[in-house]
Amino acid sequence: MAMRAHLSTIVAMSLVAVGGCTRMDSVSRPRSNSAQARGVDEWVIAGHDGSTSRIRFRFPPPHDTYGGAVNRIGGGLFLQTHPGESLGLGSFVVSVRDVDMGEADLNQNVRYNAECLRGQDFPNISYSIESITARPSDGEDRGSTLVTLHGRFKLKGVEIPLRIEATFTLDRDDAGRARLLMTGKFSLEKLQETFGVFGAGEPGDPAGDRLLLEFDFTLVPSGSPS
């Protein structure tokens, strides 16, 4: 019951970047006493390497057999415990070398080919949240809070505004430890024109020029055992 009651405060949360590192095996964190002074709860991606979280991606039909995942995510959140005018800030980052298409040769091509991600020149893909707004709930799941993330997505050195609808669910794992589940989906449009990324199918094929993405992140309070 206490965990459910605390969910009401998440509607008025503030998210502050604690990720953004080039290395995915560590997350840069502000000092805990500074966080406490601002009345926030600090959360980080669970696990030493972020393996508890995943981003899945695919092209729309008829090219939906082409897709993959990223299983190593860097980042974290500060959740404000008191309402405020600003609903949030935040940041998440992944390394191009962790983009997995399920096949070694294809991975090499997607990660480093000039017409794909060009990872040797642009090693990271990031999303910086500039604000958060709460979305109305249909009342069916009182254990979750619906939000819209307003931020900027960066790929191959190109940064664009991007709005993402997400869900935050506060619960406990099998050992009774608190965790925050963050889920959502979004799409990237006009890959070739915007990012210089040639997708599936023939050039000019709208279905091959659009990427669909879903994410499931598990975060734990800062300082919790992995």
- Written as one string, the DSSP assignment of 51-104 is TT-EEEEEPPTTSTT-EEEE---EEEEEEESS--S----EEEEEEGGGEE-SSH
Q: What is the span of the domain harbouring residue 140?
A: 2-221
Q: Is residue 45 part of a domain?
A: yes
Q: What is the mean pLDDT of the chain?
A: 79
Choice among 67-76, 87-96, 125-134, 138-147 with the minimum mean pLDDT: 138-147
pLDDT of 80 higher than 90: no
Q: Is residue 7 part of a domain?
A: yes
Q: Is residue 22 part of a domain?
A: yes
CATH number (domain holding residue 81)? 2.40.128.110
What pLDDT score does 145 carry? 86
Number of domains within the chain: 1
Q: Is residue 226 part of a domain?
A: no
Confidence of residue 138 (pLDDT cuts 50, 70, 90): low
Q: Is residue 74 part of a domain?
A: yes
For the CA atoms of 192, 193, 194, 197, what is the dihedral angle to 10 degrees?
A: 10
Q: Is residue 148 part of a domain?
A: yes
Is the pLDDT higher at 174 or at 11?
A: 174
Confidence of residue 61 (pLDDT cuts 50, 70, 90): very high
Q: Is residue 35 part of a domain?
A: yes
Is the pLDDT higher at 5 or at 156?
A: 156
Helix (H, G, I), strand (E, B), or coil: what is residue 125? strand
**Residue spans of alpha helices (H) in 126-199:** 191-195
Is the pLDDT higher at 121 or at 39?
A: 121
What pLDDT score does 183 carry? 96
**103/108 Cα distance (integer angstroms):** 9
Residue 30, CA atoms < 13 Å, CB-side half-sphere:
19
pLDDT of 2 higher than 50: no
